[in-house]
Amino acid sequence: MIEAELKARVRDPKAVKQRLDEYALGRAEVYRDTYYDTAEGQLESRDAELRVRTVHGETETRSFLTYKEAKVDEASGSKPEHETRVEDADAVHRMLRGLGYQPVIAFEKRCRNYEVQAGGRQMLATLVRVPEIDGTFIELETLVDEEADVQAALVDVRAVLGSLGIADADLTCELYTDAVVARRAGDEEQ
C-alpha cells in the first residue's frame, strides 16, 4: 500500500479542530516513535524508514512495526508503507538491535485523530504537536494500491485540507525527525 499524504502547518488549530469535529469524533493519542537504521545509515541513504511506534490511547495501548520505502512523489513525500501490529514492542526493539539496527532517534507526538470519509476515500486526519517543535501540524492521508493512483488521491486529500482552511502555502515536507534533530542540536549548542 502507498500512503498518499500531505502535511501542513496549522495557523489556527482551534478553528481546524472545530471543523474536524464536524467530520468525525476525534480521539486523543500519544505516539512514542523510535526510528532505526544501520550504523552506516543504509536506510536513510535509500530514503527508507524503519520505525517502532507505541500508541497510548484513552482505552488501550498498541504498538506497530513500520517500514517505509523511498518516496514515490517528491512534492508530497508519499511513500509505500508496510505496517503490522506487534504484541510486544520491547521484544521488537530487542530483535531490531539484535539484527544490527540502532535507534537513531526517539520522540513523542501528541495527536488527535479523525477518521474522515471524503471523495469516496477513507482518510485519517491527525492534528499533531511534537513537544520539541513549535507549532501544530495536520497530516491527512489515505491509502492507495498503485503508484498511478497517488496523484488522484492527493487531489482528494488537498480538497479536504482546503475545506479545513489549510492553504497550499501551509504545506510542508519537513520531517519531524529532522526538526527534532535540529532542535536537539540547537539545545546542545546553548
pLDDT in tens, 51-69: 999 999 999 999 999 999 9
Residue 189 pLDDT grade (very low, low, confident, very high; cuts 50, 70, 90): confident
Binning pLDDT at 50, 70 and 90, where does residue 187 land? confident
pLDDT at 186: 84
Residues 106 and 97: their CA atoms lie apart, in Å, by 14
| SS3 state at 40 | coil
In this prediction, residues 141-155 reach a mean pLDDT of 96
Confidence at residue 90, expressed as pLDDT on a 0 to 100 scale: 98
How many C-alpha atoms does 31 have within 13 Å on its Cβ side? 22
Q: Average the pLDDT over 23-34 and give the result.
A: 96
Q: What is the CATH number of domain 2-189?
A: 2.40.320.10
pLDDT of res. 13: 97
pLDDT tens digits along 169-183: 999 999 999 999 999
Q: Centre a 10 Å sphere on the Cβ of residue 50 and count the other Cβ atoms it contains.
A: 17
Q: For 75-110, write each residue's pLDDT tens digit.
A: 999 999 999 999 999 999 999 999 999 999 999 999
d(CA 144, CA 3): 7
